[in-house]
Amino acid sequence: MARMNLLQALNSALDTAMAADERVICFGEDVGQFGGVFRATSHLRDRYGNERCFNTPLVEQGIIGFANGLAAAGFRAVAEIQFADYIFPAFDQIVNETAKFRYRSGNEFNVGGLTIRSPYGGGISGGHYHSQSPEAYFCHTPGLKVVVPSTPENAKGLLLASIRDPDPVLFFEPKRLYRAAVGDVPEEDYTAELGRAEVLREGGDVTVLAWGAQVEVVTRAAEMAAEKGIDCEVIDLRTLLPWDVETVTRSVLKTGRLVINHEAPRTAGFGAELSATVQERCFLYLESPICRVTGLDTPFPLAHEREYMPDHLKTLAAIEQTVNF
């Protein structure tokens, strides 16, 4: 065990993966000598050489196109997109290519070796283009897996699992926690299972669901609710596609209430899918409407970032409203 922040945990995961398997290749804008603008790939070039960790030209569609080809050739391509806001030029390569590669070829070819890492989310005064949470776009795309860690410990385990998973994975890193989240992380090689949610806090009154950086926010809201005598069950979804329907519905069948929190705009965010599916499965058990606490239906703002964010206060209000419905 070592104390690490979330970035160090990710760096440790990449280091571990590259040491264990020479077919793991890391690349992206500024990831080589510089180690990435957030330094997630620090030292990897020195340790594994420029052939296995390198800068690419500045072209996201090319990075993912290249990564698809490299993965198809049997490598474990780990591509970094510098900010999730800049993943959209690669959208075609991800949605039309990565996601459909195995299916369209009848499994003659696949890009299961691909992992796309990208920092996402707000709370860093980043405005429109350094704050977005684009996970819902990818969750509507069969063939992809979508993973979002929330702590240094699960970040390392989930990233190692993603790199080794037989399917392509989008791995969104909560950059607000890069340095803010610090915890004990095993130094050795370990994986955390994809597709599993984690119940962080058991409770009987209401289920509160989040992922990534918002897990901390809802946990805080749950603590405040506890002071008011409301007993929240807090779930960290961790994998969004495919998501852990069993853990979530089991909880809602127990509590009868669900509050979902995400940073992305409300309309057609991933909260909508969770809400729709849970009400299909728990209909007779629901005691109040499933409630979403989300970003607004605006581009991500700067001056009003605080007002925009689905913070602990809004979450607490939603919890109370849900319980008192």
Partner 1 sequence: MYAPSSVDAPRIHTPDFITESALTIPIYGMLGEDGRPYEGADPSGVAKEIVLAMHDAAVFTRLLDERMVAAQRQGRLSFYLTATGEEAATVGSAAGLEPDDMILPQYREQGALRYRGFTAAQFMDQLFATEDDLGKGRQMPVHYGSRALSYMTVSSPLATQIPQAAGYAYGQKLAGEGRCSICYFGEGAASEGDFHAALNMAAVIRCPVIFFCRNNGYAISTPVSEQYAGDGVAARGVGYGVRSIRVDGNDFLAVYLATQEARRQAVSEGVPVLIEAMTYRLGAHSTSDDPSGYRSRKEEEAWQRFDPIARIRAFMEAQGWWDAERDEALRQGYRDEILAAMKTAEAKPAPSLARLIEDVYAAPPWNLTEQYEALREQVRANPDAYPKTAGRIE
Ligand X SMILES: Cc1ncc(C[n+]2csc(CCOP(=O)(O)OP(=O)(O)O)c2C)c(N)n1
Considering only residues 279-298, where is the footprint of its own copies by CB under 8 A? 279-281, 283, 286, 288-292, 296-298
| 260 neighbors 281 (Cβ within 8 angstroms) | no
Active site residue 304: no
Q: CB 28 → ligand X: shortest distance, Å?
A: 10
Contact 252, 201 (CB under 8 A): no
Give the C-alpha separation, 173 to 41, whole Å: 13
Q: Locate the DSSP E strands across the chain.
A: 2-5, 24-28, 53-55, 76-80, 115-120, 145-147, 169-174, 182-185, 198-201, 206-210, 232-236, 239-241, 258-265, 291-295
Stretch that binds its own copies, among 41-49, 158-166, 205-213, 267-275 (CB under 8 A): 267-275
Q: Which is nearer to partner 1, 110 or 118 (CB)?
A: 110
Quick one: 21 or 92, whose CB is closer to its own copies?
92
Q: How far is the CB of 42 from its own copies (least distance, A)?
A: 28
Judged by CB under 6 A, the stretch of 81-89, 139-147, 176-184, 284-292 that binds ligand X is 81-89
Residues 105-134 that bind its own copies (CB under 8 A): 128-129
Proportion of the chain in helix, strand, coil states, percent, rounded to 5: 40, 20, 40
Partner in contact with 280, chosen from ligand X, partner 1, its own copies, none, beta carbon below 5 to 8 Å by kind: its own copies
**From the candidates 29, 60, 80, 216, which is the catalytic residue?**
60
Rounded CA-CA distance 58/283 in Å is: 49
SS3 320: helix
Q: How many residues does the chain have?
A: 325
User: Cβ contacts of residue 69 below 8 Å, gap of 6+?
Assistant: none
For ligand X, the binding residue among 11, 15, 26, 29 (CB under 6 A) is 29
CA 243 to chain centre: 12
Q: Is 82 in the site for ligand X (CB under 6 A)?
A: yes
Cβ closer to ligand X: 29 or 236?
A: 29
Pick the piece of the chain touching ligand X (CB under 6 A) from 14-22, 82-90, 228-236, 283-291.
82-90
Residue 2 Cα distances to 45, 177, 186, 207, angstroms: 23, 17, 6, 32
* Closer of 191 and 279 to its own copies (Cβ): 279
Is 88 a binder of its own copies (CB under 8 A)?
yes
> Are the CB atoms for 143 and 196 separated by under 8 Å?
no
Q: Is residue 60 annotated as a catalytic residue, yes or no? A: yes
- Please report how close the Cβ of residue 117 comes to ligand X at its closest, in angstroms: 14
Residue with Cβ nearer partner 1 (226 or 317):
317
Measured CA to CA, the distance from residue 286 to residue 278 in angstroms comes to 9
Which residues have C-beta within 8 Å of that of residue 208, sequence separation ≥ 6? 218, 221, 222, 232, 233, 234, 235, 258, 259, 261, 315, 319
Choose the stretch contacting its own copies; rule: CB under 8 A; options: 42-50, 158-166, 172-180, 260-268. Answer: 260-268
Q: Tell which residue, 1, 310, 311, 304, has the closest CA to residue 152.
A: 1
Q: Which amino acid is at 101?
A: F
Binding letters toward its own copies, positions 146-175, x by CB under 8 A: ------------------------------
> Residue numbers of the site for its own copies (CB under 8 A)?
61, 85, 88-89, 91-92, 95-96, 99-100, 103-104, 128-129, 136-137, 139-143, 241, 264-265, 267-273, 275-277, 279-281, 283, 286, 288-292, 296-299
> Residue numbers of the site for ligand X (CB under 6 A)?
29, 58, 60, 82, 86, 89
Query: Could you give the residue numbers annotated as active site?
Result: 60, 130
